[in-house]
Amino acid sequence: MVKMVLVNLGFILLLLTHPAMALSQVNASIDKNPVMVNESFVLEVVADDDVNTNALDTSPLMKDFIVGRTSVSSQTSMINFNTTKITRWTTVLIARQSGVTTIPALTIDGMSTAPIELKILSASDPQAKKQQDLFITSEVSSNSVYVQQQITLTVKLHFSAELKRGSLSEPSLTGADINQIGKDKEAETIVNGRRYRVIERVYALSPQQSGDFTLKSPVFSGEIMVKSNRRSNFLSFGETKPVSVIGDDITLTIKPIPTNYQGAWLPSELLTIHQGWQPDINSADNDSNKNQSTFMVGEPITRTITLTAAGLSEEQLPEILMTVPTGLKVYPDQAELHTGMNSNKLVSQKVRNFALVASKVGTFTLPELIIPWWNTVTNKYQEAKIPAQVITVVSNPELENSSDFNKTEQSSLLNGDLANTKTVIIKEASWLQWLFLALWLLTSLAWLVSSLRKKETTNKTSNNTSTNSIQNTKVTTHQDPYLALLAACKKDQGQQVLSLIVPWVNQLNNKNNAKQKSDSAVFKENISSLDEALAEINNVQFSSLIKGLQACYFGKTEHEWRGKELVTFIQKFNKKQLTSVNETNLTLNP
């Protein structure tokens, strides 16, 4: 036992007194030779001692190579009482150009590596194509374009090894907007008898400056799986190797806007504009003249205008506007934008729908629509046109025969634009007009009787007053346009509401006339159209509510209308008007 302790103690003393190891040599090696231009290879530098991790200076490599990341590792081992220490640097390099070059000697703590002669193959070399594990191809839709003309860059990453991880940088071009289009696509292909997986990415580039520029292709950096040098009877270990690859740079010529061009700049290979109608104006009834069509008053028609351009982004497409003559009302929808690829070219499209409603009979001409643009193929100014369209509007039998509409109302109800559209008044009496006149007279009489009753019952209790008010309401419900209007709103009967607006406004005017009579004032004449009613009320909220109601029935597509908001407005407005009249009467007639 004592002998064993003495042996161990002697061993420890031997280790303590053994002189420290010193750096004796530095070696450099590469994982392959020859290598290919724009494809990475690994330089490994090994020192036979534990030295400072920052001792390796890689700056001499930057002249002929792109220097990637450098990783450092240290290892200490002992075999038969012999201690070995190693420091290893691993650096990823990419050759800048083809040919034969030399990796220079690298110095660590006074010790230098031996230079390495390296052969660099071009991308077109047959030998290079056989040994490629990873490469990038880049292609643009055109190498010569105008300022703000869209071009596409298609980048494909090919790899035959198993990728552990990786990332692809963005391309770069001075003074250009670059955006990826869509998502990455994956596929498989065979190149020179070797199977590759392919990841494809497409970019849209919009240069903003003229001149000659170099488009820098993306750089891929990652790790691939390689066979391990370790051996085990039970387990097999996988190792990774850092890799990088760069695509070829592309030279682009960006031409300026022609000096003689006027208007918004729209450079495109092809720009078209066309229209569609619903119902179709090219039906059998209109085959005789495809630029002229016939519709009825109040019939909603939809005009769809589609603008398509190649080589322009959807943001560059101009606004589509439509002007109409007096007598037509237009309801534009929000424009729809689409972008896609066709034959490796960017194609953008803008679609906009316009709902038209005619408020009177006649012949109307929609002006032609012109979009100027520059043809980048012929280098000439061009115009995309939709010719002028003639629309003939005839009377609508359904509206003429409806019990809720007369000829005057047919024109006014369909008219939502007070500023630009004239009201057509047909001076033809109908039984409905006489009925409204009778209702107004009865309403005025009822109001006078109610006013006298209020004076006679001033000293009665509030309960009796409320009871009488309720009874009077029941008596006049069927004769009061105001109450009928509220009922129609609460039942969401939009067309009935439109027919009762005019009687209600006349009812308010008649009550004002009764007050003005004592003042020897000029009477307000009865109105006969919805336009006059809107002008009489003169309230932005009320006009908006009525236009919304009209759009529900006469817009592009009919949809359900709710009268709750209109009920609230009418009640408040009616109460305010009557309160004002009553207060004035009490002041003048104590």
Q: For residue 448, what pLDDT band results from cuts at 50, 70 and 90?
A: confident
Which residues, 6 or more positions from 347, have their beta carbon under 8 angstroms from its beta carbon? 308, 309, 310, 339, 340, 341
Amino acid 588: pLDDT: 32
8 A C-beta contact, residue 413 and residue 405: yes
Spatial distance between the Cα atoms of 248 and 218, rounded to a whole number of angstroms: 9
pLDDT at 519 over 50: no
Amino acid 396: pLDDT: 78
pLDDT at 21 over 70: no
Domains in the chain: ranges and CATH: 24-123 (2.60.40), 132-255 (2.60.40), 269-395 (2.60.40), 407-588 (no CATH)
pLDDT at 107 over 70: yes
Q: Crossing angle, helix 431-456 and helix 462-476, to 10 degrees?
A: 170
pLDDT at 56 over 80: yes
8 A C-beta contact, residue 393 and residue 296: yes
Spatial distance between the Cα atoms of 217 and 203, rounded to a whole number of angstroms: 11
DSSP string computed for 308-372: EEES--TTTSPP------TTEEEEEPPPEEEEEEETTEEEEEEEEEEEEEE-SSEEEEEPPEEEE
8 A C-beta contact, residue 322 and residue 366: yes
pLDDT at 476 over 70: no
Which residues, 6 or more positions from 330, have their beta carbon under 8 angstroms from its beta carbon? 322, 324, 354, 355, 356
Q: What share of the chain is helix, strand, coil (3-state, %, to 5)?
A: 30, 35, 35
Please name which of 156, 167, 169, 155 lies closest in space to residue 223, comparing C-alpha atoms. Answer: 167
Most confident option among 88-102, 103-117, 376-390: 376-390
Look at 2-11, 119-128, 320-329, 541-550 and tell me which has the smallest mean pLDDT: 2-11
Please name which of 177, 131, 174, 132 lies closest in space to residue 151, comparing C-alpha atoms. Answer: 177
Place of tokens 């969401």: 492
Q: For residue 480, what pLDDT band results from cuts at 50, 70 and 90?
A: confident
8 A C-beta contact, residue 121 and residue 36: yes
8 A C-beta contact, residue 311 and residue 267: yes
Residue 483 burial (C-beta neighbours within 10 Å; 0-12, 13-18, 19+)? middle
Q: At residue 321, what is the residue type? A: L
pLDDT at 464 over 70: no
- DSSP secondary-structure letter at 61? G
Strand ranges (E), 160-193? 163-168, 176-191
pLDDT, one tens digit per residue, over 233-288 is: 444 456 788 888 888 889 999 999 998 888 889 999 999 999 998 887 665 344 44
pLDDT at 321 over 80: yes
Which residues, 6 or more positions from 483, have their beta carbon under 8 angstroms from its beta carbon? 473, 476, 477
Buried b (16+ CB within 10 A) or exposed e, 20-38: eeebeebebeeeeebbbbb
Spatial distance between the Cα atoms of 402 and 408, rounded to a whole number of angstroms: 13
pLDDT, one tens digit per residue, over 287-310 is: 444 556 788 888 888 999 999 998
- Helices assigned H by DSSP within 396-459: 397-401, 407-413, 431-456
Structure-model confidence comparison of residues 183 and 409, the more confident one: 183
pLDDT at 123 over 90: no
Look at 59-68, 260-269, 405-414, 445-454 and tell me which has the smallest mean pLDDT: 405-414
Amino acid 370: pLDDT: 92
pLDDT at 130 over 80: no
8 A C-beta contact, residue 491 and residue 557: no
Q: For residue 543, what pLDDT band results from cuts at 50, 70 and 90?
A: confident
pLDDT, one tens digit per residue, over 29-42 is: 888 888 888 888 88
Per DSSP, the three-state class of 447 is: helix
